[in-house]
Structure 1
Amino acid sequence: MIGVTGISHQSAPVNVREKFSLDQRECAKLSEAILQNPKIDELLILSTCNRTEIYFKTNGSCSSGASNAIFSQLREHVGAPEESKLLFYHYRNEEAVRHLFRVISGLDSIVLGEYQIISQIKEACRLARENKFTGKFLNRLFNKALETGKAVRTNTGLGKEAFSVSYAAVEKCSAHFPNLQDKNILLIGAGETGELVIKNLQKKGCKNINIANRTIERSQELAKRYEAEVVPFQELKNKLGKAEIIVSSILCKEPLIDANILKQHIHTDQKVLIIDLGIPRNIHPDVAEIPAVSLLNVDDLKEAISENIQKKQEYISAAESIIAEKVTEFSDWLNVQNLVPAIQSIVSGVHRINADEIALFKNFHSEEEIIKIEQYGRHICEKMIRAMVKNLKTISRDGDLQQYSKIIHQLFKPGYGQESY
């Protein structure tokens, strides 16, 4: 059974889901702990600013027990209260597959059709595979997911424009400051999100961009590429007084900037727009209490992207059709994999019966006749096996797979066909 348990911007606000945000080290540590459960064979954790989801494959059909165990370990790992369970969703098999395919296609994102999720999923796959947390089933699932995401963006209008949270942030800046290109901008964080912010700012004609990052080499790389200025991270606070726009997207467990820090470095009448793209949040919420400061987080960007949703509404039905087709393809493959033991029982059982019957005839027929009987027997076996496997695949789609498999094993156990009637 394949399942997913998770929390996202659809089910919880930023102040809740930031508690469940995990970096790569934590993803690896938690994955190792969860995989100690003998019922869970494979695992992959996806943690972004919009969601934390744990995909898993069990060696049984019950998903509720696995989901509950996974949530409990996640909750204990991050120190969240038990009642946060009410904000989690749980999907199994086809529903889990459809959810993942919608996520990677950008249909479940804050920004409809956003493409950053693809690189985030690729990175989650890399981490899981390198540590051997995934196997045959989840590797196949995520390969199919990447194929789906590409198909949606190639064959619908969702791939024509480069929308992302970074894009939405810059659109918010533009709405706040009509003369955006003249503003002094401080960018905190030089990762993928930060680079996308710079690209979108440059498209708006912005020239006064300063970059602060823990790793100065990365700041220098982006500064050279986009003609920006480097701010040594230790001098970050001294730059706050000159910034009119601050966009932060750095990974940190505690806020970098709070109201006390900001008050010490900005003028009382200095108007500042701060957009916090970090999860956990980089900017303390008390900053919003400063009269001249406007503070936005990722959830606040939903209003800024309503136009984006309206523009792309016509593409959603086309994307959903592609997703439905890909879900069916994967479900058919999964169904066959789950039927392998039953199919093996059919094949070995039919051939065993055939061999037993031919052995009885060998004492009464010539060698030439036996060869013909064997050829005819193999032909009959292959036709019977094909018919039974085809019908088994059909009826198992809507039935109890475990029950059908149990019946098949019982029917073709050694000794079957030798009874007298």
Structure 2
Amino acid sequence: MINSGIVVLLSLTASHHDLDLAVLERLSSDAHAVGRQIVGSTDLVAGAVVLATCNRFELYLDVADADRLPAARAAAAQAVADRSGYTAADVEGHLRAETEAGTVEHLFAVASGLESMVVGEREIAGQVRRALTAARRDTTTTSDLEGLFQAASRVSRAVEGGTGLGSTGRSVVGVALDIAEPHLPAWADVRCVLVGTGSYAGASLAALKGRGCTDVHVYSPSGRAGAFAAARGVRAVPAGADLAEHLADVDLVVACSGAAGAVLTVDALAAARAGSERPLTVVDLALRHDVDPGVRSLPGVRLVSLHTVAEHAPAEHAAVQQARTIVARAAGDFEAERRVREWNPAVVAERTRVLGGLEAALSALPEDARDERAERSLRRRTRAQLHPPTVRAREAARAGDAAAYAAALADLAAVEVPTPHPDPR
């Protein structure tokens, strides 16, 4: 049970498990501005980190105490509603709430790829790190959120090292290219246009090169293709050029720019392919659809979308169960250490009362009445008296046993400050 007055970690999450991708797209509108609005508009929430990916939208909030949780959740829902076009009530209905241990274990599982569309994929680990970096930039993070997200990254590495998940290249991009592969020439002969220049485009280009595809032209709706392509040894579609005009003799389009609105429409692609019998596979990994889904109706065009990836994603296996065990153990340890830190000040206060009082009493003795050996003995006996209830209190804090903690704290409070006796010399 959460104690009022203690900082509470609250997560509000939605993913491909629960919602259609179109709903996630609307929830993710102007995602990082949501964190700034929540923290800037209310004192209910001390910090916020927003994790928005192609298949999830999640808010992690640092709330002052348990009594403020409902109001904090309502403020967060309103911030999302202001940008998504949903009502605040709709947003609350879409976002699943967790607190404390539930929040911790969920983020650890997400960072480890266990909640991904492709279980065990590794892009999510970088997305979790970038979400924290963005919160730092926006000054919306706190020490508790820092600790949570840094721990999530450590757990992600522990899962990969302990289970092998993630080391085999499992990813949304990888599954999408697996689906596309049977309909393409040999990878060395594939002509590809990559749409986008963000981190996901970088991962997509690496996956293409890993399969042997080197004939890649990069198109950017924002005009960044030149620098992106030059840094990676590929070519750019000239800034300002019409994307469709460069698709007549292309085998594969991989789109992941996340631009506001489709950068490739049905009419534009139909016009570009007029008279062409060359098959074209379009992989659209953008949550907001870089490519109009209607292109799948065009002759010779095959569309692979996030929905397609979800249908073909590999099933769980034994390594996933092992990973979940690692995550659960790590979440328990994180919560235990967090409770120790939160509950420890009362223990420290009681020990300071006794030990500080003893030192004050010793200092008050006249110099000619002090006996160093006797004083060391008195300090030793006093610490020995304090030790058992201190250990019990900290063990109870780790276990979350409030009753045992209160009993141990009462035993500490019952320890009286010893009265030193002056040397009778």
Superposition TM-score, scaled by structure 2 size? 0.82
**Contact 2:180 2:304 (8 Å CA) reproduced:** no
Matched, 1:51 2:52: no
Residue of structure 1 in register with 2:47 after alignment: 42
AA aligned opposite 1:129: R
**Contact 1:44 1:54 (8 Å CA) reproduced:** yes
Partners in 2 of 1:402 and 1:267 — Cα distance?
Answer: 76
Cα–Cα, structure 1 residues 374 and 224, in superposed 2: closer, same or farther, change >3 Å?
Answer: closer
Question: 2:159 pairs with 144, 147, 152, which one?
Answer: 152
Q: Please list, as runs of the form range in 1=range in 2, the aligned pairs for 1:189-208 lying within 5 A after superposition.
A: 189-208=196-215
Residue of structure 1 in register with 2:268 after alignment: 261
Cα–Cα, structure 1 residues 281 and 386, in superposed 2: closer, same or farther, change >3 Å?
Answer: farther
Matched, 1:383 2:384: yes
Which secondary structure does the structure 2 equivalent of 1:241 belong to? coil
Which secondary structure does the structure 1 equivalent of 2:291 belong to? coil
Higher mean C-alpha deviation, range 100-109 or range 160-169: 160-169
Question: 2:178 pairs with 171, 187, 194, which one?
Answer: 171
Cα–Cα, structure 1 residues 397 and 302, in superposed 2: closer, same or farther, change >3 Å?
Answer: same
Q: Which runs of 5+ in 2 are unaligned?
A: 1-7, 418-425
**Contact 2:336 2:400 (8 Å CA) reproduced:** no
Question: 1:140 pairs with 141, 147, 154, which one?
Answer: 147
AA aligned opposite 1:328: G
**Contact 2:62 2:142 (8 Å CA) reproduced:** no
Residue of structure 1 in register with 2:126 after alignment: 119
Partners in 1 of 2:110 and 2:362 — Cα distance?
Answer: 56
Matched, 1:211 2:192: no
Tell me the alpha carbon deviations over residues 171-228 of structure 1, each in whole angstroms, 9 at most, x when there is no partner: 1110333655544322211323223323333343435432212465544543674445
**Contact 1:94 1:331 (8 Å CA) reproduced:** yes
Partners in 1 of 2:61 and 2:160 — Cα distance?
Answer: 26
Which secondary structure does the structure 1 equivalent of 2:165 belong to? helix
Residue of structure 2 in register with 1:340 after alignment: 344
Partners in 2 of 1:31 and 1:217 — Cα distance?
Answer: 27
Cα–Cα, structure 1 residues 383 and 45, in superposed 2: closer, same or farther, change >3 Å?
Answer: farther
**Contact 1:5 1:88 (8 Å CA) reproduced:** yes
1:275 deviates by 1.7
Which secondary structure does the structure 1 equivalent of 2:219 belong to? strand
**Contact 2:122 2:171 (8 Å CA) reproduced:** yes
Partners in 2 of 1:159 and 1:102 — Cα distance?
Answer: 13
Question: 2:19 pairs with 12, 22, 37, which one?
Answer: 12
Residue of structure 1 in register with 2:92 after alignment: 85
Which secondary structure does the structure 2 equivalent of 1:4 belong to? strand
**Contact 2:48 2:135 (8 Å CA) reproduced:** yes
Partners in 2 of 1:275 and 1:97 — Cα distance?
Answer: 34
Cα–Cα, structure 1 residues 344 and 58, in superposed 2: closer, same or farther, change >3 Å?
Answer: farther
Partners in 1 of 2:248 and 2:233 — Cα distance?
Answer: 23
Matched, 1:295 2:309: no
Matched, 1:277 2:285: yes
**Contact 2:11 2:61 (8 Å CA) reproduced:** yes
1:105 deviates by 0.9
Partners in 2 of 1:37 and 1:259 — Cα distance?
Answer: 45
**Contact 1:249 1:276 (8 Å CA) reproduced:** yes
Higher mean C-alpha deviation, range 347-356 or range 270-279: 347-356
Higher mean C-alpha deviation, range 231-240 or range 41-50: 231-240
Which secondary structure does the structure 2 equivalent of 1:27 belong to? helix
Partners in 2 of 1:58 and 1:384 — Cα distance?
Answer: 38
Partners in 2 of 1:49 and 1:142 — Cα distance?
Answer: 19
1:326 deviates by 1.9
Cα–Cα, structure 1 residues 215 and 92, in superposed 2: closer, same or farther, change >3 Å?
Answer: same
Question: 1:330 pairs with 321, 330, 334, which one?
Answer: 334
Cα–Cα, structure 1 residues 48 and 233, in superposed 2: closer, same or farther, change >3 Å?
Answer: farther
Cα–Cα, structure 1 residues 41 and 402, in superposed 2: closer, same or farther, change >3 Å?
Answer: farther
Partners in 2 of 1:56 and 1:409 — Cα distance?
Answer: 33
**Contact 1:346 1:385 (8 Å CA) reproduced:** no
Q: Which runs of 5+ in 1 are unaligned?
A: none
Report percent identity of matched pairs: 21
AA aligned opposite 2:208: L
Cα–Cα, structure 1 residues 390 and 202, in superposed 2: closer, same or farther, change >3 Å?
Answer: same
Higher mean C-alpha deviation, range 56-65 or range 374-383: 374-383
Tell me the alpha carbon deviations over residues 60-107 of structure 1, each in whole angstroms, 9 at most, x when there is no partner: 134444233312222223222433433321111111111111111111
**Contact 1:43 1:133 (8 Å CA) reproduced:** yes
AA aligned opposite 2:52: S
Partners in 2 of 1:405 and 1:43 — Cα distance?
Answer: 32
Matched, 1:27 2:32: yes
